[in-house]
Amino acid sequence: MKFGIGLDWIKITAGTVHNVRNVAEYTLRTLIEAWHLRNVLAKHIRRANTALDFGCGYGRLTFIFYDFANYIVGIDADKSKIEIAKETYKNLPQFRFDVFDGDIPYPDAFFDVILTNTVLQHIEDILPVVEEIKRVAGGLVIIAEETDGKPSPGMYPRPIAEYENLFEPFELVATYPRISYVNGEIVQRGAIMVFHAVEE
């Protein structure tokens, strides 16, 4: 995989954690998550025109679309993270970043592929967000979220069956374990659900 971002990306990663050991751990975690998500993507698409990383944060994983799509959008509710993403990706014209204020500023069925990675699990009132994602979905929707455990403030794991209901009438075409790296070990954290958009 060509990253196309290089040292800027590492600097941003380093800036978001607080000590040297964590920088190494966090960088490795991000690369492992990116590698795994990218492999899932590659199983389902060869090339897309448009891609959306919904809840992209500061663009930690948005680069996985680098060699898959021509027009790549990251969107997040946190303006400060979007500013960091814009700075990180400023030399890559195929990437653009927008603040999410309830509307995704694109037409219906605009995106060939959409990713959420650990975003929906943090949203309690999820219905309006899911409806907006469904509205702009025109192909694959890849939902990588925590699916086990009890809800707590700021954390709302939902089982796969609940995501299937939420994304109806989209078809769930595959599921994979979501892989992360914690305390030196590769661990499973939730699921990657691959939906296919079906017009309502």
Which residues here bind ligand SAM, judged by CB under 6 A? 55-57, 60-61, 76-78, 81, 100, 117-119, 122-123, 129
Min dist CB 70 to ligand SAM, Å, is 21
Judged by beta carbon, residue 127 or residue 199, the one nearer ligand SAM is 127
Min dist CB 16 to ligand SAM, Å, is 9
Between vectors from CA 37 to CA 134 and to CA 51, what angle results, nearest 5°? 40
Judged by beta carbon, residue 81 or residue 199, the one nearer ligand SAM is 81
**Residue 193: beta bridge partners?**
143, 175
Q: Are strands 95-99 and 111-117 parallel, antiparallel or unpaired?
A: unpaired
Name which of 118, 115, 10, 13 is nearest 69 in CA terms. 115
* CA 59 – CA 86 distance, rounded (Å): 8
Min dist CB 109 to ligand SAM, Å, is 20
In Å, what is the CA distance from 174 to each residue of 40, 52, 160, 194? 10, 19, 11, 5
What is the edge-to-edge ordering of all strands in the sheet holding 111-117? 95-99, 69-76, 48-54, 111-117, 137-145, 185-196, 171-182
Judged by beta carbon, residue 81 or residue 134, the one nearer ligand SAM is 81
**Residue 54: beta bridge partners?**
75, 116
* Nearest position to ligand SAM, beta carbon: 57
Judged by beta carbon, residue 12 or residue 48, the one nearer ligand SAM is 12
Judged by beta carbon, residue 76 or residue 112, the one nearer ligand SAM is 76
Min dist CB 174 to ligand SAM, Å, is 20
Min dist CB 76 to ligand SAM, Å, is 5
